[in-house]
């Protein structure tokens, strides 16, 4: 499956140890050129744990039209500090997508997470 930047996908997200994984949503953050030419893609974890907002996190509120376009079933947070490269064939399906405006905010979160500010 070829994915596009801003896609919200369901995949078997690996834990940092690499030993186990969990089926969960993630946001594709890799550029579309590389998504088309490579077998891997870079994604950011999406979690329903809303314990704290930070410059490295983006809230997806299902009470908004933006949130409803993601295909998620609960208000969630994109954790830009939790990135992983996965094989695209591990993606189960596309759930929805974020808007270009939301992706600009994700870019700011990624810059903060990677110290590129």
Number of domains in the chain: 1
Q: Given the structure tokens 């078997």, which residue do they identify?
A: 12
How do the pLDDT tens digits run along the chain, 117 residues long? 789 999 999 998 877 766 777 899 999 999 999 999 999 999 999 999 987 889 999 999 999 999 999 999 999 999 999 999 999 999 999 999 999 999 999 999 999 999 996
Residue 90 three-state SS: helix
Is 2 within a domain? no
State the Rg of the chain over Cα. 13
Give the CA-trace dihedral at 110, 47, 86, 101, to 10 degrees. Answer: -40
Is 1 within a domain? no
pTM, whole model, 2 decimals? 0.93
Which domain CATH number covers 62?
A: 2.30.30.110
Q: Whole-angstrom Cα distance, residue 85 to residue 30?
A: 9
């Amino acid at each position: 499956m070829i994915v596009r930047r801003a896609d919200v996908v369901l995949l078997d997200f690996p834990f940092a140890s690499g030993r186990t994984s969990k089926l969960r949503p993630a946001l594709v953050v890799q550029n579309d050129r590389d998504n088309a030419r490579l077998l891997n893609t870079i994604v950011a974890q999406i979690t329903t744990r809303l314990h704290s907002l930070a410059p490295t996190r983006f809230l997806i509120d299902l009470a908004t039209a933006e949130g409803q376009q993601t295909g998620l079933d609960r208000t969630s947070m994109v954790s830009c500090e939790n990135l992983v490269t996965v094989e695209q064939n591990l993606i189960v399906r596309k759930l929805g997508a974020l808007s270009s405006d939301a992706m600009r905010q994700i870019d700011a979160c990624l810059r903060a997470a990677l110290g590129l500010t």
